[in-house]
Structure 1
């Protein structure tokens, strides 16, 4: 890899960098809400929308029922449910009551619609991994690893590492780092009932029915 990409970065004293340097995720979240700013208007417009019932995504506005009917997984393609449950329970076991309450939501909770990819925290859903003890972060990643193929986990974790590299490159490690993600659990881990996990602020989302 060459350093050619650095010529496209803002200089260290550029206002876009200087005005947020040193802020943590929660301070940056407040700064992003500034009225009239792009991020402020984005948050203002999105906040009431995520509370509406989810109806699906269509090309015409009309839903097509039974477009993707549920069917049993084909041989060799079953989700590793037992390993996922074990990993999820290990994560829950290392949390106190407050941590479990922040992490867990009903499987159909509106909070699952708070997924977002921008680097600022639009919604504080679940646990913010960067502020968790190392053991909690490790257990959360273990759940991700148990849920994905080896190649899928390598790709997902690689994206987290790139996020950290970007933060170091622009001197904003308190905003962009390997663990600047929220992690939430929906439903109760079960071999047959629907449940899932969700990282917020990452190109990943997985809502997995048991089996």
Structure 2
């Protein structure tokens, strides 16, 4: 492999780590914004209710934008890293499954809304089946995202990212959130190491005699 090819591979690797860390950060911020929006939206004080509702709506819209940015960054970064890290591509598959699961849940909610007006037992059953199917698909997707994070942490020997990926893959109440925090820290350590390596390599090349 030529020096130029090695440089391009390294730059792809570093960019993949940076984008993955950015996507994890977006995913971390999203539930916090949603919780804040729900708290504001639930304010019953009539004197500030209008302002609170507007703020809640803005926060919710920002959360939706962050979700889109998060999954876009995660998918792109896992695809980049798949070329240099074995198993990272599973994270990209996981992102797609989560999005499919969310769409199925939304369709289930729509069918459930229709069933309230028509009072059709079939529609109610279909709504519940869609909800369950969407949740299962999304859980499998998050499992694969966790597997992808674990895979990224393995070649770098980063225990923080490996533990974080493991927790993201466990579909319990707070474990994915804690896993994302650990993953963000671990990816930061890997990014710092790669950046230091690049700087050291640049210094060595500069100091070489012509």
In the superposition, the TM-score normalised over structure 1's length comes to 0.26
Higher relative contact order (CA 8 A, sep 6+): 1
**Larger fraction in helix:** 2
**Bigger strand share:** 1
| Greater radius of gyration (CA) | 2
TM-score computed with the length of structure 2 as normaliser: 0.26
